[in-house]
Amino acid sequence: MNRTYQIDERKAIANFRSHLTTDPGSIQLILPLADLAQRLRNGVDQMLFETERELLLLIIDDEVAWLTGDRYRRGPDRLGSRWGKAAGSVIIHGQKVPTQRPRVRGADRELKLGSYELFRREEEMQRKVWERVMRGLTMRGYGPAVRENASTFGIHKSAVSDRFIVASAERVGDLRKRDLSPCASAP
């Protein structure tokens, strides 16, 4: 089951990337001046965090429109139809943020959204955990030190420890694959 999910995830991401290369469209995020001023009052980091979240959701909505066509418009060229929303999460600045992901239903099953699958990958999160822990940030102090938004989750000490273990295993694997023959021939 997990293997099938990973294959579907990779195919969805490849389809999304293909769509990006062929789609001449653009996405526009409009922030009213009052909203922008209020966000800046909370700090530039918080403003960037919230704005990045909105941009990710716009990109996901653009992919949904590509798969289903314009909202409330019928047509034979649609790959799927809108099927409500479900709870999900995306990774922003190395932190999991809850969000409502749109669902798209194909002819016989739910279609994976490549943009959503791409934005929920945890490689960035693992990389940031590795960097911060290697610089001396403790597992226990990780969450309070890096939390950029009250709604973020997955940065408690046990989750950070699990991610550090995965990142460490990857680093060890990289070290084990290195060619040491140039070192052996040195005088």
Residue 116: its pLDDT value, please?
93
pLDDT tens digits, the chain, 187 residues: what are they?
566 667 888 888 888 888 888 887 788 888 888 888 888 887 887 788 888 889 999 999 999 988 888 777 666 677 788 889 999 999 887 788 899 999 999 888 889 999 999 898 888 778 887 888 888 878 777 776 676 666 676 667 777 788 888 888 888 888 888 887 776 665 6
User: Would you tell me how many other CB atoms lie within 10 Å of the CB of residue 99?
Assistant: 19
Q: Could you tell me the pTM of the whole model?
A: 0.71
Query: For the chain, where are the alpha helices, taking DSSP H only?
Result: 2-22, 33-41, 44-68, 114-119, 123-134, 139-146, 157-177, 181-184
SS3 82: strand
Residue 100: its pLDDT value, please?
92
User: Would you tell me how many other CB atoms lie within 10 Å of the CB of residue 160?
Assistant: 23
Q: Are 90 and 119 in contact (CB under 8 A)?
A: yes
Query: How do the domains of the chain map onto residue ranges?
Result: 1-121, 122-177
Residue 87: its pLDDT value, please?
92
